[in-house]
Structure 1
Amino acid sequence: MVSITNLHKTFNKNTVLSGVNLEIKGGGIFAILGPNGSGKTTLIKTILGMVIPNKGKITVLDKDIKHDSVYRHQIDYLPQIANFPNNLKVKELIKMIKDLRGDTKTDIELINRFKLEPFLDKKLGNLSGGTKQKVNIVLTFMFESPLIILDEPTTGLDPISLIQLKELIQTEKDKGKTILITSHIMSFVEEVSDEIVFLLDGQVYFKGTISKLKNKTNELDFERAIASILTENHA
């Protein structure tokens, strides 16, 4: 599904990615974790073609993304911060995105799931952060792409919406889709992920199941296992 070979990226004199090698096969939920500055966002943006690496190769769905931009139509992306036009109504934004992308499944089920009916005629600039995030989620899951990338999807969600998001992610996984997630909420990561990819100093430090990570660090608790990695490498 996603293959990354010897990926390097430098911003000015700041090295962000320094030889990332990563294979993600189709189907399943993969959490991309790491401390601030570890290169998570840069890695995601290189997969999306939003950041051009200095060196390395990325293939998505067996396409070398350097020579093919069409692959992006096979990805649904939820950005960490969605900058919506404040003057548009929610229903106008949904219609605009549907018209641009085409090939949508019905959005009614998603709107009902996240209780957005009362907000459809409201302007985006008047919505709370949590409601904007629910709109963001609807726009992401309206399509049937094989690869979904979610950057901090739980931001601003109330407990009921968080449950709905978890169920939605599981439903998409059950369809055979591949889902990449970044999150600072370790309980969420532990609940939904099949594998984690831990970035450290611009490289993949660990890839595997949470159980494997606990064994590697001799920790019974997932958060303590993550903390153990950070402590060990910054001692």
Structure 2
Amino acid sequence: MEQINQHPAVQALNEDPEFEEIFPLATSLEVTKAIQENVPGRKIHHFIYTALRGARGVFPRAFYCPSRGILVMVVGFGYGTAGPLDTLHNGAMATMIQESIRLLAQAWFPPEVVYKLSNLHMYFSIPLIANGIYCISVVPASTVADLELTVNEHRCNRRTGPAMDTSIIWPEWFDPTDRRENFNTMIARVSMYDGHPLDEANAIIVNCVGRFEVQQSEHWPPINQLEQVEDDKDAT
């Protein structure tokens, strides 16, 4: 735990006034408070913060920037999360990516909106190092600049390149031109940092797209933001 607390990325996010540390909405307010107060694991009924907690498991710290709509989770992985050949088990990373997406959804969607994760796609570019500390950055797709261009370039290169590229970084169900659906879609990327995650441009190790099914609501999507997105599209 001390190692993750002293990590440069955690310290940088702690010192950034735009970011605030957030905690999961667990099974009850009492459990949520117990997670925040770091009480013994046996008193917490939560998969990540009980079963995966401890020296063999994971040590997550999550920070949210309301003005940018971005969440950064810094995760330390213990020796119990290792997979074959001294690599991190992909399932351990996938669990924390999904938790990061869930935490951003908790902050992104208004309280009166009902939603559930319906699609999740992850692409691992290389094997992950075991016992490492990783940063998971998550943003709503609607806030990503040049997203349509990025997705289309990859899909075009994948289909027309000199060698057959079987990697699917962007799933076929993801449509970057669907402005309304992009408000319900989160993009997560995993990298390793030695400072503030927003100040460095490190290689992306894992790319993930998660889409939420949202019940129709007068509160969502926010009309003013949707109109702004459409105006920006028309301007280009």
TM-score by length of 1: 0.31
Higher RCO (CA 8 Å, separation ≥ 6 residues): 1
TM-score by length of 2: 0.31
